[in-house]
Amino acid sequence: MPAILKRSIVRDSFIICLGCLVFAVGLDCFELNNGLAAGGATGLAMTIREVVLATTGVALPVGGMVLLMNVFLMVPVIRTGGLRYAARTLVGIVASSVLIDALEPFLPELGNGDLLLCALWGGVICGIGLGLVFRVGGNTGGTDILAQLLQRVVPLSSGVTIFVVDAAVVVASMPVFGLERALYAAVAMYISSYAIDRVVDGFNSQRAAYIISDKYEEIAHMVLYELDRGCTELYAKGSYSGKERPVLLVVVNRSMAADLREGVSSIDPDAIVFITEVFEAYGEGFKSLRR
């Protein structure tokens, strides 16, 4: 096995375990003991645990139940994702399940019964943990596996797909924990899905501008020498006019987007400018592609 591949496996495994640790802390401190079954296999396990505890007085381990549920979900993972994806998923499943049960006796119950506070912080911390796992192609199992498999055929982001799949778990928890806690669990789930997308897609967002103008040479000069940014000409043809002219592509950070608009306006007030958000930019002038 090449040395670079070994380093990649070690690095990814470390990040997956770190993400599982963060997820377990958020779950144990804010959600587990406050009855916030915010979706996922853990939410389903929390609901089952509460039912069994109320009827028999036995508190089943949440992590153990999650591990048992995922045994049946590993088959489609191996078939559709390959061995490397299955290995990352297995690491995430085992690490998250073990850490949830191992840390529960030692972590404090935070929030003092304030369900809104627990939903906010539980959602943020759990979302950051899951985002770290997903960022390197890992998984913590349960409905996360179903969501990632579904994402391959449905054009939705990781967080939104998981939100849709987990909504059923929140609804199922309603008769057990009550309507109020189910609503707060939905808040935690929404915040978690947003945090997942932020971690997976990146926090350092950039702006990509497409500029159409007859004075493209002057605008390109301004971008290169006044803003000190790169500029690429994409050749395009107007469908109505049949006229060929370049479309300038410029990627800048947020603070420079206003300078770019003002610079283009000063050269050609009639220019057409489209500005879109870019979650991550790699290469010269941005982050390195090397991980």
Residue 250: strand pairing partners: 209
Regarding whether 165 and 89 lie in a shared domain, the answer is yes
**Which of 145, 176, 201 delimits the end of a domain?**
201
Can you point out the beta strands (E) in the chain? 206-212, 232-237, 244-253, 272-278
Give pLDDT, residue 158: 59
Regarding whether 223 and 183 lie in a shared domain, the answer is no
Regarding whether 194 and 219 lie in a shared domain, the answer is no
Regarding whether 215 and 183 lie in a shared domain, the answer is no
Is residue 38 domain-resident? yes
Helix/strand/coil for 112: coil
Task: Give dist(CA 129, CA 187) in Å, integer.
Answer: 17
**Which of 201, 226, 261 delimits the end of a domain?**
201
Q: Can you list the residues of the chain whose pLDDT is less than 70?
A: 1-7, 76-82, 144-153, 155-159, 162-163, 203-205, 280-291
Domain residues for the domain of 68 are: 3-201
Kindly tell me the burial class for residue 281, based on how many C-beta atoms sit within 10 Å of its own C-beta (0-12, 13-18, 19 or more). Answer: middle
Give pLDDT, residue 159: 60
Instruction: Check: CB of residue 41 under 8 Å from CB of residue 143.
Output: yes
Is residue 253 domain-resident? yes
**Which of 149, 166, 201 delimits the end of a domain?**
201
Give pLDDT, residue 242: 74
Regarding whether 274 and 259 lie in a shared domain, the answer is yes
User: For the segment 76-95, what is each residue's pLDDT rounded down to a tens digit?
Assistant: 666 655 677 778 888 888 99
Is residue 289 domain-resident? no
Is residue 93 domain-resident? yes
Regarding whether 214 and 244 lie in a shared domain, the answer is yes
Give pLDDT, residue 122: 94
User: For the segment 24-43, what is each residue's pLDDT rounded down to a tens digit?
Assistant: 999 999 998 888 988 788 88
Is residue 286 domain-resident? no
Is residue 18 domain-resident? yes
Total tally of structural domains belonging to the chain: 2
Question: Position of tokens 């000069």?
Answer: 221
Regarding whether 172 and 36 lie in a shared domain, the answer is yes
Regarding whether 230 and 154 lie in a shared domain, the answer is no
The CATH code of the domain that includes 258 is 3.30.70.120
* Nearest-10 crossing angle of helices 143-151, 158-177: 150
Regarding whether 167 and 55 lie in a shared domain, the answer is yes
Can you point out the beta strands (E) in 143-266? 206-212, 232-237, 244-253
